[in-house]
Amino acid sequence: MPGTGAVIIPAYNEETTISSLLGEIREQSPELDIIVVNDASTDSTMAVLSESHLDYIDLPLNLGAWGAIQAGMRLAQTRDYDFIVTMDADGQHLPQTLAPMIECHRSTGSDVVVGACTARGSRSRKVAWSWFRRITGLKVEDLTSGLRVYNRPAYKALAGRSATTFEYQDVGVLMMLRENGFSIHELDIEMKDREVGSSHIFRSWMSVIYYMVHTTVMCFSKIGRRHRAAV
């Protein structure tokens, strides 16, 4: 494929999945660079990466998935990739979806492509999606998908200081992209159930409540600032 791109993978305690995932990416998309961000794992993830002969960032402190992704974006920025793809390390995101995602990015000319799999939505996830679409006006169905393609201007904008306050790679990121005039396209893709662990957001009703309150406050704060700026 023309142009240069990289896959950025945040990894926290993914010793059981990371090796096979990296092998599949290299087989499916050998033209892509791979950057794994070890988010201060406490298992053997770092040992696997040190033997992989791939680029990795070893964070001394756990920053969470979005902080790890931002670290990868900042490295990507120094290399001036045409685009990057973000994907999870837990087995949900399939390496064979990378090529269709990148082709969609190129054929539509969109700044951002979100890999959407609404069939995976639990009841709590669908409630969250519906609520945040309503209050933000975002037209994205799968708001919490971490499988995304960003072109150079989009990922450089997200690598900046103004995006460091986000806790998740979801609604806040999409709102920031929209406010800065970036176009967002969704592509229906297949995902698997995660092989190990559980969703940081949707693992329990208490975590869902925290996520809903935190993200709702953030949304209304951004909407309020936008309205004040327009007056």
Q: How is residue 13 written in tokens? A: 């305690």
Q: What is the pLDDT of residue 194?
A: 64
**Backbone φ and ψ of 17, nearest 5°:** -120, -25
Asked if residue 223 is part of any domain, the answer here is: no
Asked if residue 49 is part of any domain, the answer here is: yes
Asked if residue 171 is part of any domain, the answer here is: yes
Tell me the average confidence (pLDDT) per consecutive run of 10 residues in the chain, 231 residues long: 82 95 96 97 96 93 96 96 96 96 97 93 81 93 95 97 88 94 97 66 71 84 59 37
What's 103's domain CATH number?
3.90.550.10
Q: Cα torsion for 99, 105, 106, 110, to the nearest 10°?
A: 180
Asked if residue 129 is part of any domain, the answer here is: no
Q: What is the pLDDT of residue 225?
A: 62
Q: What is the pLDDT of residue 231?
A: 37
User: What is the span of the domain harbouring residue 23?
Assistant: 5-121+141-195
Asked if residue 44 is part of any domain, the answer here is: yes
CA distance 21 to 134: 35
Asked if residue 211 is part of any domain, the answer here is: no
CA distance 92 to 196: 10
Asked if residue 55 is part of any domain, the answer here is: yes
Q: What is the pLDDT of residue 124?
A: 78
**Domain count for the chain:** 1
Asked if residue 179 is part of any domain, the answer here is: yes
Residue in 219, 120, 231 with CA at minimum distance from that of residue 178: 219
